[in-house]
Amino acid sequence: MEFRSVRERDLPELYEFVKKVYKEEPLAMWFEKEPTLEEFMSIFMLKIRGAERKELIDIVAIKDSTIVGECEITRKEHGEGVIAIILIKKITGKGEGLKLLNFSIKESEKASIKSFEAEVIKENEHACKFFKKAGFKIVDGRSRRIEIRGSEHKTLLFRKDNPPAQ
C-alpha cells in the first residue's frame, strides 16, 4: 500500500471513492445525501487550498493503483488536529486503516500537530473500535446529538495526545 498527499488530479478517482464509501457505510460520512460531482468539487478544492495553506493534511491510501482510503487531519488552534478517515470495506479489519492513520499522524507532526480528536457516530461500531485500537480515548462529557438524513445520532469524541518527540 502506498500513501501520499492528495493532488488536484485525484478529483475524479476520489469522487468515485467517496461515493463507494457512502454506499458501503453511510454513517462513516455525514453527508445528507450522496454528494453530486459539483458539490464534491467545491469540497475538494477547499481541501486542496487548505493543504496549500498548511491548514490540513490530506493523505490517500493507494492499492493496485486505486484509492482505497483517505485520512484528513485539519489543524485547529494550539497544535490540535481533527481526524476524518474513510476506507473501502474491502480493506477494513486488515490493519491498513491503522497504517494510513499512523502515516497521516506522522505527516501532521511536521505541521506541529500534537494532539488529535475524532468525532464518531456512536452506532458506527467499526469506527469506535478502530479509534480505540489506535490508542484514542473517549472524552467524557463531549458527545452531542446530530441529525443526519432525518435521523438523530449521538456522537462520541475520541482524543489522543502524541508523546513529545525524543
What pLDDT score was predicted for residue 153? 85
Question: What is the Cα Rg of the chain in Å?
Answer: 15
Write out pLDDT tens, residues 109-142. Answer: 888 898 999 999 898 898 999 999 999 999 987 7
pLDDT recorded at residue 26: 73
- What is the reported pLDDT for 54? 87
Report pLDDT for 107: 93
Number of other residues whose CB lies within 10 A of the CB of residue 132: 12
Specify the DSSP class assigned to residue 139: -
Q: Are 59 and 100 in contact (CB under 8 A)?
A: yes
d(C-alpha 49, C-alpha 72), whole Å: 13
| Dihedral over Cα of 128, 27, 41, 19: its sign | positive
pLDDT (0 to 100) of residue 164:
56
The stretches in the chain having pLDDT less than 50 are 166
The full set of domains in the chain, from first to last, is 2-115 (3.40.630.30)
CA separation for the pair 44, 50 (Å, rounded): 10
Q: Which residue bears the cell 469506535? A: 128
pLDDT for residue 134: 95
